[in-house]
Structure 1
């Protein structure tokens, strides 16, 4: 059971006014005011909301591009597939589906992609797994490609995504969990935030970055 300030009959008028004023900062209000899961300070992304939408209607919008990203895992880390739609004109990202499972072999990943109807989509996968990418191609995922790596590619990708507003379909529960807890790291001695995200529980965040950066790239753009 989750409660929030609206359930507290003992709050003073000034306390209530404080929470109402907090609505100007949606991230803080969602967590500290409404009691949703997440953290308030140091989040990488606060440009998102959970909202149902009709996927077919969004796909029909002019200028929409699909964005699929794949981050490999197996025993301890899940294999994570990000499924999104990008509207560069209105700076919107729609997150409509995900895969988030441990223990998947490359053959299992291919079968799952085929079952979900994504085998013909352009999928951008982690460049650190060239063998897995090759095996997926052989298994029928012909449009899978390696992500581009380069100096500051993680921060460059994050900055580009921060320029968009992200709408997350409620069925993407693992994506919602990750994006609501994805934080910048902190200096061990001072506790001051640093310009590097914490490398934990970020599998769909990485997959999103692979897919989105491919979908929004300009001709000739490169991190190198």
Structure 2
């Protein structure tokens, strides 16, 4: 029996032009909860059933982030459209297949460059590419390499398309200049925000209304506008691949782990670093960054990453969470200790270091590239107070590094 659905009821409003566009590029920046990723996932599932020769490649900078983002959204879209029985989704390998035709949705990360150049499909054409959180791709040539992988002779009626969705943290990102500052007949761009999402609950909307108290945060996380980055706090950093085991073997290297708690609106953020106090270098080699985790789930993430036995310095404002993690097995977790003017003092100490960030630490890169001093509301001049948003790993780094530098007697919150 054929089931009829009315797409606007499933998708909602505000994305009609996005849905109909068949040009080479669809580029959508937006706030959290603007339903940009969910709408993209719905379009891909619907359209693959419509075009029997089409295959999709889904990419993010780091492969391990795909399962809990794009893969989950696509599985959600399958269920939302009521077509579960026609699709097969597997986690090993990470793949989704449309059973009636054998079309596939494949997943890759830019941290595996060999896969980018060797990707292929057994049936039809690999004609669509979805890059989620495209802001994570800091090197434009990495995008070009992905873009060039979507090619080939197309059957009549089919089209090649690259879809990019992301949160616009910084106006200095290459995405702005390439897609938003220059008009092109091959490019569709849109800015979306939470007000376009009619499926949000009243509780969700209240969170955004409260965000208006912080205009700088609201502009980006609420309205989806470009973040204006002035007065960066840390400028001595660079993204660089390095061998973690080799760094660990250097004399005088100390491990530094810091944890900032979150749940609904903010993520739980674990900073994982190595500190060379003599050379004044910090190596950032791993991170956990996820919303909606209970303390038990957070511990499982930490354990799976191999960090459960490390000395972790956690936000002292959450003693209950610290105790729960300790009972789960993080026996060396410690609370940070408050000190006078501890935030600014910690920042000043870290500014003495050069920071190398491993490319897989995409959330750390986003935060450190946008972490800046607050401006005075009256005259726009700089203050000595850091902007209090998108700073979860920055806080976690401060807990960890200050503990590493000062020893057990003096760690700062």
The interval holding the TM-score normalised by the smaller chain is: 0.7 to 0.9
Task: Name the CA shift for 1:218/1:101 in 2 (closer, same or farther; >3 Å).
Answer: closer
Instruction: Please list the CA deviations of residues 6-59 of structure 1 after superposition, one character each: whole Å capped at 9, or x if unmatched.
Output: xxxxxxxxxxxxxxxxxxxxxxxxx96x94898653001001000000000000
State which of 177, 185, 201 in structure 1 corresponds to 2:366.
Answer: 177
Instruction: Find the aligned partners of 1:36 and 1:216 in 2 and give their Cα distance.
Output: 38
- Structure 1 runs not aligned, ≥5 long: 4-30
Query: Larger relative contact order (C-alpha < 8 A, sep ≥ 6)?
Result: 1
Alpha-carbon separation, structure 2, partners of 1:200 and 1:75: 14
The change in CA–CA distance for 1:195 and 1:169 in structure 2 (over 3 A counts) is same
Separation in structure 2 between the aligned mates of residue 144 and residue 154 of structure 1, nearest angstrom? 20
Distance 1:223 1:78, change over 3 A: closer
How does 1:92-111 map onto structure 2 within 5 Å?
Answer: 92-111=281-300
Whether the aligned pair in 1 keeps the contact of 2:375 and 2:382 (CA below 8 Å) is yes
Residue-by-residue CA offset, 1:130-174 (whole Å, 9 max, x unaligned): 000001011010000001112210000000000000000000000
Task: Please say if 1:120 is aligned against 2:329.
Answer: no
1:159-174 aligned within 5 A:
159-174=348-363
Q: How does 1:1-150 map to 2 (within 5 A)?
A: 35=174, 41-150=230-339
TM-score by length of 2: 0.45
1:112 offset after TM fit, Å?
1.1
Q: Secondary structure at the match of 1:90?
A: coil
Q: Distance in 2 between matches of 1:164 and 1:148?
A: 22
Mapped contact 1:84–1:96 kept (Cα < 8 A): yes
Aligned residue pair count: 196
Please state whether the residue corresponding to 2:355 is helix, strand or coil.
strand
What displacement does 1:120 show? 0.6
Change (3 A) 1:59 1:42: same
Instruction: Return 93-102 or 142-151, whichever deviates more.
Output: 142-151
Give yes or no for contact 1:185–1:193 (8 Å, CA) kept in 2: yes
Contact 2:336 2:411 in 1 (8 A): no
Which 5+ residue runs of structure 2 have no aligned equivalent?
Answer: 1-24, 26-138, 141-170, 177-226
* Residues 152 and 223, structure 1, Cα contact 8 Å, conserved in 2: no
> Which of 1 and 2 has greater Rg?
2
User: Are 2:388 and 1:199 aligned?
Assistant: yes
Aligned residue in 2 for 1:11: none
* TM-score relative to the length of structure 1: 0.82
In the alignment, is the contact (CA less than 8 A) between 2:259 and 2:314 conserved in 1? yes
Task: Give RMSD over aligned pairs.
Answer: 2.3
